[in-house]
């Protein structure tokens, strides 16, 4: 019995290590927007926002496995960088809690799982599955030679609403493109603010980021421009989809939350974590709530 308990404890410890490896709690940034796209697509097609239990299940599995793949690739390729950074040197990929062999297995398992799930969604989802994985894996490589890496990260999460509309409608609509571009600028904007923490480290290690290249004040200005574009594209999404007052309220709420995020960071750089996790986490879920009210 004692041996079984030790094995069980070891299993849950390893599970926790992998959860920390991919920072599973950060799924709050992409999950709401895949479901927003699915709700709106179903609503516009059938008059009902409910797209069925099957797509809810498959959509969740696809989103989680895609994100696990992307984070696994990031952690695997960034080992040489993370070990030098005081902020990241205790990650499971660096301190040995998750071995390189385990990471490679994790990456390939999630890639295969994502492709299989896409196969069961529809033909277009299956054909797009490998290109989507290629984009998701590109972020880590980009930051080694281009400051545009922030936008690549934004594109990676912006694929979530595209995947959502493909799952329900089997096509990519104009309104979903507006929603996706808004997500791209949203993610790129808050990634700029988050990257302020590593500005000096990036300079010292020849890593390409907007903060290391343009400085803190210019970075904050660029982030504000990105988030202004976020609001513009999300209003175009609402207009293009023909949605009403609840969806419009969602965009207004997002604008207020983004303004508060910039207020926090401008006032005190030590509030970056609060701005990054709390504000952006609430933004996605409240946006989803308003869309649910809209399609009801």
pLDDT of residue 89: 79
Tell me the mean pLDDT per 10 residues along the chain, length 296. 57 64 62 94 92 93 91 86 80 80 92 96 95 88 81 91 95 96 95 84 80 88 96 98 97 94 74 67 92 93
Domain ranges of the chain: 28-295
Query: How many helices (H) and strands (E) in the chain?
Result: 16, 0
- Provide the CB-side half-sphere exposure for 114 (13 A, CA): 25
Helical packing angle, 149-169 and 53-77, nearest 10°:
160
Tokens matching residue 217 = 């004040």
pLDDT of residue 274: 57
Handedness of CA 169, 249, 24, 150 (dihedral sign): positive
Rounded CA-CA distance 229/224 in Å is 9
Rounded CA-CA distance 9/236 in Å is 50
Q: Which of 95, 258, 141, 130 is nearest to 188 (CA)?
A: 258
Residue showing tokens 């309104």 = 175
Distances (CA, A) of 175 to 179, 193, 215, 241: 6, 28, 35, 6
pLDDT of residue 269: 61
Domain covering 28-295 in this structure, CATH number:
1.10.357.140
What is the chain's length? 296
pLDDT of residue 26: 58
pLDDT of residue 173: 96
pTM tops 0.85 = yes
CB atoms within 10 A of CB 201: 18
């Amino acid at each position: 019995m004692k041996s079984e308990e030790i094995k069980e404890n070891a299993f849950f410890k390893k599970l926790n290590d992998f959860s920390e490896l991919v920072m599973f709690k950060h799924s709050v940034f992409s999950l709401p927007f895949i479901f927003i796209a699915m709700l709106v697509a179903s609503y516009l097609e059938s008059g009902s926002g409910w797209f069925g239990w099957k797509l809810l299940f498959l959509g969740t599995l696809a989103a989680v496995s895609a994100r696990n793949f992307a984070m696994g690739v990031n952690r695997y390729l960034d080992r040489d960088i993370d070990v030098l950074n005081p902020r990241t040197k205790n990650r499971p990929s660096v301190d040995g809690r998750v071995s390189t062999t385990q990471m490679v297995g994790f990456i390939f398992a999630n890639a295969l799982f994502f492709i299989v799930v896409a196969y069961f969604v529809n033909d277009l989802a299956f054909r797009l599955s490998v290109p989507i994985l290629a984009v998701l894996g590109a972020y880590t490589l980009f930051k080694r030679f281009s400051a545009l890496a922030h936008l690549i990260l934004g594109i990676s999460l912006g694929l979530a609403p595209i995947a959502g509309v493909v799952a329900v409608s089997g096509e990519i609509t104009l309104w979903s493109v507006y929603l996706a571009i808004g997500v791209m600028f949203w993610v790129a904007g808050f990634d700029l603010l988050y990257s302020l923490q590593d500005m000096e480290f990036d300079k010292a290690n020849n890593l390409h980021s907007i903060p290391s290249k343009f400085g803190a004040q210019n970075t904050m200005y660029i982030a504000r421009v990105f988030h202004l574009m976020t609001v513009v594209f999300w209003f175009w999404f609402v207009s293009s989809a023909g949605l009403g007052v609840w969806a419009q309220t969602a965009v207004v709420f997002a604008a207020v939350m983004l303004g508060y995020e910039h207020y926090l960071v401008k006032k005190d750089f030590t509030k970056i974590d609060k701005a990054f996790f709390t504000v952006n986490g609430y933004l996605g879920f409240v946006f989803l709530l308003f869309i649910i009210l809209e399609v009801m």
